[in-house]
Amino acid sequence: MRTMSTTGLPLAADAGLDFSLPQQLTVILLCALTAFISHMALAVFNDGVRPFMLDFIHGRTTRSATTAVSFGLSAGFIFGLGAPMALSSGVLNPWLLFLPTDILGLLAPKKWLAPLLGAGWGAVVVFGLDGANEVAHDLPVDFLTAMQQMSTPILFLFTLFPVLAITKQFGRAWGAAAGAVELALVVMTMKLWPDIFAGALAMAIGVLLLIGLAVRRDLVQRKADRQAAAASGAVSEEAPDDDPMASLFSASATRLRRYLPLFMVLGAGVCVLAQMHIFGGGEATSFLIAKGQFSEAAQVDFYRVFGFVPLIATTALASGAYGIAGFTLVYPIGYLMPNPVLAAVVGAAVFALEVLALSSIGKVLGKLPSVRDSSEHLRNAITDSLHLAILFGSLMAANAMGGGLGILVVGGLYLLNEAMGRPVVRMAAAPTAVIIGGVLLNVLHWLDLFTPLKG
């Protein structure tokens, strides 16, 4: 039986991960390009690796040591989140494509070898995933179909991330008000526009409210500071010309601008991949793309941008290494483009503007501390909401494939991971437990110790 979405459309995973030739070539070439750019230390996808790139760029640490850092920070997301999400949704994601090319690019000792390794990984993805998908669906306990249970918790709990961010930054009263508004908007959307994702409008209002509150706080504080300075007769001091951070930021921005044509090609490639609708930039987005809800997917990834622009801009200026997906604006733009040619042109232009504007963005963020704080609260709220959604969805998948025994195995593996100090990162632990649990239930079936649930 094909699993149907809330819009009546089958999930992409039900049709397998069978890519057309242009799609295969796009993935392979993009993986080759991102591995090459990683080798050049111009950009990496993992935000946690980027701060380590400064020492590597200046020769204070070795390629092998930087590769080890990248692998340690990325492996859990690749195999515990990227691969399960792709197999369950039928849509590729950045953890599966770009985290491995971070590692392979840094690992390659020669410049020419990096794109070959990246292309090799792209080939593994486009040719290997479909085979793995078919094998998994043919098993007595089909854990991939069961993992599609994660879509509903991820989509609806993700809607609450602006409420969490507002509560943490501006207190319970504003948080309660935002929660009430979002709930009302979700109910209204489900009633009036049942064919669109119910959380889209709620997230938009929530993010706008957060940004509005942050800007208001900054403006009020700046006005108070000016009045206090005027009352005391003090004159504000400008930052000294020899500010070491300003010098570092300027050098990093100049280094990135020097490779602007290469970044434009990268932006074009990522935007074209998004336009092909075989790629989703996030957990919720992957399932929306799988259901054919491209405009809703664009909205979701657009709202995420506000949580990551300050982080990506500041780490890029501090380290001299940009993000593989830039500010991730090319994701929502790509979803909405009518054809790959236009997507390539627009993606290249967006990346050019981002790289050229880095210094200006850094200066603006320096004057808006509450907006910077909002970005951090947004990222933390996204992580918190998705952690609960993925855990809950994984337990639903466990119940679908094995009932109480499935919940025991998957929940037990998750709790064991927590007790052991999280050798698998928390976000990836539950999907990993579903896969391991699915394999174990199949083994028990073959030993005639477990009968798969019907339906």
pLDDT tens for 327-357 read 999 999 999 999 999 999 999 999 999 999 9
* Cα atoms in the 13 Å half-sphere on the side-chain side of 115: 8
Decide: 189 and 200 in contact? Cβ < 8 Å: yes
> For 310-332, what is the mean pLDDT?
90
- pLDDT above 80 (res 5): no
Decide: 89 and 11 in contact? Cβ < 8 Å: yes
Instruction: With cut-offs at 50, 70 and 90, classify the pLDDT of residue 280.
Output: very high
- pLDDT above 60 (res 16): no
Asked whether residue 169 falls in the same domain as residue 123, the answer is: no
Report DSSP letters for 163-220, one per residue: HHHHHHHH-HHHHHHHHHHHHHHHHHHHHH-TTS-TTHHHHHHHHHHHHHHHHHHHHH
> For 134-163, what is the mean pLDDT?
89
Least-confidence region, from 124-138, 153-167, 284-298, 347-361 = 124-138
Question: Does some domain include residue 8?
Answer: no
Decide: 331 and 255 in contact? Cβ < 8 Å: no
Domain boundary among 230, 262, 280: 230
Q: What is the pLDDT of residue 181?
A: 95
Question: Does some domain include residue 171?
Answer: yes
Q: How far apart are CA 101 and CA 117, in angstroms?
A: 8
Asked whether residue 307 falls in the same domain as residue 388, the answer is: yes
> For 413-439, what is the mean pLDDT?
92
Asked whether residue 117 falls in the same domain as residue 216, the answer is: no
Q: What is the pLDDT of residue 405?
A: 95
Question: Does some domain include residue 6?
Answer: no
Secondary-structure percent of the chain, ordered helix, strand, coil, rounded to 5: 75, 0, 20
Question: Does some domain include residue 434?
Answer: yes
Question: Does some domain include residue 105?
Answer: yes
Question: Does some domain include residue 86?
Answer: yes
Asked whether residue 49 falls in the same domain as residue 172, the answer is: no
Asked whether residue 152 falls in the same domain as residue 169, the answer is: no
Q: What is the pLDDT of residue 372?
A: 82
Asked whether residue 109 falls in the same domain as residue 223, the answer is: no
Helix (H, G, I), strand (E, B) or coil at 33: helix
pTM (predicted TM-score): 0.86
State residue 190 phi and psi, 5-degree precision.
Answer: -65, -30
Asked whether residue 202 falls in the same domain as residue 55, the answer is: no
Asked whether residue 204 falls in the same domain as residue 295, the answer is: no
Q: Which of the pair, 396 or 246, is modelled with greater confidence?
A: 396
Q: How far apart are CA 259 and CA 261, in angstroms?
A: 6
Q: What is the pLDDT of residue 431?
A: 93
Least-confidence region, from 38-42, 108-112, 231-235, 272-276 = 231-235
Q: Which of 173, 179, 174 is nearest to 159 (CA)?
A: 179
Asked whether residue 225 falls in the same domain as residue 279, the answer is: no
Q: Are strands 43-44 and 322-323 parallel, antiparallel or unpaired?
A: parallel
Q: How far apart are CA 144 and CA 435, in angstroms?
A: 8
Decide: 35 and 108 in contact? Cβ < 8 Å: yes
Domain encompassing residue 209:
163-230
Question: Structurally, how many domains does the chain consist of?
Answer: 2
Domain boundary among 171, 204, 230: 230
Q: End-to-end CA distance of the chain: give it in Å, rounded.
A: 8
> For 208-229, what is the mean pLDDT?
86
SS (H, E, C) 238-306: CCCCCCHHHHHHHHHHHHHHHCHHHHHHHHHHHHHHHHCCCECCCHHHHHHHHCCCHHHHHHHHHHHHH
Q: How far apart are CA 189 and CA 195, in angstroms?
A: 9
Least-confidence region, from 29-43, 137-151, 162-176 = 137-151
Residues 6 or more apart whose CB falls under 8 angstroms from that of 66 comprise 49, 52, 53, 55, 56, 106
Q: Which of the pair, 12 or 422, is modelled with greater confidence?
A: 422
Asked whether residue 396 falls in the same domain as residue 431, the answer is: yes
- pLDDT above 60 (res 4): no
Question: Does some domain include residue 43?
Answer: yes
Q: How far apart are CA 382 and CA 120, in angstroms?
A: 32
- pLDDT above 60 (res 151): yes
> For 156-166, what is the mean pLDDT?
93
**Pair of tokens at residue 245:** 């951070």
> For 361-380, what is the mean pLDDT?
84
Q: Please, what sign has the CA dihedral across residues 308, 309, 314, 316?
A: positive
Identity of the amino acid at 176: A
- What's the farthest any 2 CA atoms get from each other in the chain? 85
Decide: 248 and 318 in contact? Cβ < 8 Å: yes
Instruction: With cut-offs at 50, 70 and 90, classify the pLDDT of residue 239.
Output: very low
Decide: 133 and 80 in contact? Cβ < 8 Å: no
Decide: 79 and 71 in contact? Cβ < 8 Å: no
**Pair of tokens at residue 67:** 């590769």
Asked whether residue 394 falls in the same domain as residue 287, the answer is: yes
Question: Does some domain include residue 318?
Answer: yes
Q: How far apart are CA 88 and CA 90, in angstroms?
A: 6
Q: Please, what sign has the CA dihedral across residues 186, 187, 191, 192?
A: negative
Domain boundary among 230, 254, 282: 230
Q: What is the pLDDT of residue 28?
A: 97
Decide: 34 and 45 in contact? Cβ < 8 Å: yes
Q: What confidence tens digit (pLDDT) does each residue in 299-314 have?
A: 999 988 888 888 888 8
Residues β-bridged to residue 4: 10
> For 427-432, what is the mean pLDDT?
91
Q: How far apart are CA 413 and CA 406, in angstroms?
A: 11
Asked whether residue 373 falls in the same domain as residue 337, the answer is: yes
pLDDT mean across residues, the chain: 88
Q: At what angle do helices 369-419 and 283-290 cross, to 10 degrees?
A: 90
Q: What is the pLDDT of residue 22?
A: 94
- pLDDT above 50 (res 80): yes
Instruction: With cut-offs at 50, 70 and 90, classify the pLDDT of residue 455.
Output: low
